[in-house]
Amino acid sequence: MSTRRPIVAGNWKMNTTIAEGLALVDAMLPKLQTFDAVDRVVCPPFVSLSAIAERLRGTPIRLGAQNLYAEAKGAFTGEIAPGMLAGLVDYVIIGHSERRQYFGEDDALVNRKVRAALEVGFVPIVCVGESLEQHERGETESFVTSQVRAAFDGIGDLGTVVVAYEPIWAIGTGRAATPEGANATIALIRATVGDQAGAAVASALRIQYGGSVTADNFAAFSAQPDIDGALVGGASLRPDQFTDIVRLAAESVT
Ligand code: PGA
């Protein structure tokens, strides 16, 4: 059994108004607060962060942003600088496949964003994962390891970083990876970080699985030796599902 503390994060994506977001945390909070063995994070849209931060004050539930920009300020219309999020969030999702796919984020930008996040003291949740075509061509290993190398290239201290392995073909499709397959790729990610940052960093690195995680399939993922929690999309908008996923993560270590 791993000594790493599981982390379950809810990626709400572009869902919920401020009022809906508050209702969602209110519905989850009582149960969510009880699972102390797990780091619990919700990532609402930017405009809801202030209101939800207020609601979460004094609770063990942490807040994450879904993105940030790599510059401190300036003429970048529509973007959010790390410093604007300071004091509001502890985590930030970086390089989600939807950012890469729909908004043209490449490995170089992901690397800059990881640096920017670490500079202000956020925990970056760095997403990697292959497309269906790459998966079917047997390119998962080479592609995912190249994403990991690029994301962390030249970064001295990876101490707090979290990685989320999210095969693109599993995101929002209801077709999750197999727990064994996900674990194998995650073990490879761990080995890749070991090459970059040393064995101690790699063995402490928390790596989540993401892609159609539900309360019904997550137990098998959290039982895998290299999987340290989940990045949850659709099911994070359903209070019973999300709290059950957190419960399963807690049960895997207690
Ligand atoms: P999903 O999304 O759980 O809805 O598949 C996961 C993610 O994109 O982080």
User: Given pLDDT bands bounded at 50, 70 and 90, which one contains residue 2?
Assistant: low
Q: List, in order, residues 6 or more apart from 154 with CB less than 8 Å away.
A: 111
Q: Rounded mean pLDDT of the chain? A: 97
Is the CB of 211 within 6 Å of ligand 1? yes
| pTM for this entry | 0.97
Is the CB of 185 within 6 Å of ligand 1? no
Q: Which two tokens stand for residue 192?
A: 């890749």
Per-residue model confidence (pLDDT) at position 80: 98
- Selecting among 54, 79, 96, 141, the annotated active-site residue is 96
- Average pLDDT on 225-254 reads 97
| Under 8 Å between Cβ of 108 and 150 | yes
Q: List, in order, residues 6 or more apart from 30 with CB less than 8 Å away.
A: none
Is the CB of 210 within 6 Å of ligand 1? yes
What is the number of the ligand 1 atom nearest to the C-alpha of 234?
A: 4
- Selecting among 98, 105, 130, 166, the annotated active-site residue is 166
Q: How far is CA 117 from CA 55, 69, 146, 187, 222, in A?
A: 24, 9, 21, 25, 27
- Average pLDDT on 45-50 reads 98
User: pLDDT tens across 184-207, in order?
Assistant: 999 999 999 999 999 999 999 999
Q: How far is the CA of 127 from the centre of ligand 1 (A)?
A: 11
**What sign for the dihedral angle of Cα 94, 100, 103, 109?**
positive
Q: What is the DSSP letter of 209?
A: E
Nearest-CA residue for atom 1 of ligand 1: 233
User: Given pLDDT bands bounded at 50, 70 and 90, which one contains residue 1?
Assistant: very low
Could you give phi then psi for residue 33, rounded to 5 degrees? Answer: -70, -15
How many distinct helices (H) and strands (E) make up the chain? 11, 8
Is the CB of 232 within 6 Å of ligand 1? yes
